[in-house]
Structure 1
């Protein structure tokens, strides 16, 4: 697309769609598009923080910088139990459900306190152990693998620092975190409504 087409495309978007694009899907934009975005933000009288989200998604980060952003997430109340005492971390919960000839597998990223993460992995293990085996051949193949993955994920739930799952989540949502870093309610919304 040439720059004029891009400008017209942004102009046609609703505010909500434009904001969503800037906070979640601005990675890899050409630098010459930045000026168009700045003008559109100003024209719509939107928060200048939205442009910071674009820049955040188009920057290389050191591990230390990712940790700073992850710490914003870690300080939020747990989205499951609502407690504030324990710092949040992340896990991936794996489940397999089988029905004779059909097997359904799911992996879900969860951001919560370590206690809730452990409970979620435990539920994944129990559910998979009870309902994962019953399909031929995938149930027999996936069930032990997913049980193992839950046990492995569970080992990282109680780490004192951000675990790899939380770091990956942080990097994936860096634009939204940058935009709403002063808004704990919006940050909580992001971690509660995340879908893999």
Structure 2
């Protein structure tokens, strides 16, 4: 696409579309497009930190840098119980529900305090143990696997450092985190929105 066509395309976008692209969907943009985004941000009087989000998505990061970004999330109140006492972390809960010839499975990422993460995994274990077995053949195979996965995920809920789930989430949302790193309310929105 010609750079002039790209520029016209960005001019037609709404403010929300510009913000969404810059903060969540800028990976792999051509370098000259960043200037176009910057011009639109300035012309529309949008938050200039939004451009930082676009740039952040196109950098390579060390583990230490990702941990630094994850600290911004870990210091927030728990989005479930709203307590500040413990650092937040992440978990993946796995559930299976079966109904004779139909089996559905689901994985869900949650960012929360260790107590709430444990509850999330425990609820997934209980639900899977009660409802997972009843499907032929997949329920019989998936149920023990998903119960095991929940127990393994639970082991990492109380780590002192950010676990793999949180680090992966942080890297996947680095544009938004960089754009709003000085805005705790926006950061809270980021961790409560399903991805």
Following TM superposition, by how much is the alpha carbon of 1:194 offset from its aligned partner in structure 2, in angstroms?
Answer: 2.2
Could you tell me which runs of 5 or more consecutive residues in structure 1 were left unpaired when the two chains were aligned.
none
Q: Deviations over 1:104-148 (max 9, x none)?
A: 111000000001000100000000010011111111111111101
- 8 A contact 2:89–2:162 mirrored in 1: yes
The corresponding residue for 1:64 is 64
- 8 A contact 2:18–2:37 mirrored in 1: no
What aligned pairs does 1:16-55 form with structure 2 within 5 A after superposition? 16-55=16-55
- TM-score (normalised: structure 1): 0.98
- TM-score (normalised: structure 2): 0.98
Could you tell me which runs of 5 or more consecutive residues in structure 2 were left unpaired when the two chains were aligned.
none
**2: CA distance, partners of 1:73 / 1:157:** 15
Following TM superposition, by how much is the alpha carbon of 1:85 offset from its aligned partner in structure 2, in angstroms?
Answer: 0.5
What aligned pairs does 1:75-114 form with structure 2 within 5 A after superposition? 75-114=75-114
Runs of 4+ in 1 over 2 A off after TM superposition: none
Q: Deviations over 1:31-84 (max 9, x none)?
A: 121111111111111111011001100000001100110000000000011000
Aligned residues: 195
**2: CA distance, partners of 1:104 / 1:44:** 45
Aligned-residue RMSD, C-alpha: 0.7
What aligned pairs does 1:86-165 form with structure 2 within 5 A after superposition? 86-165=86-165
**2: CA distance, partners of 1:38 / 1:193:** 26
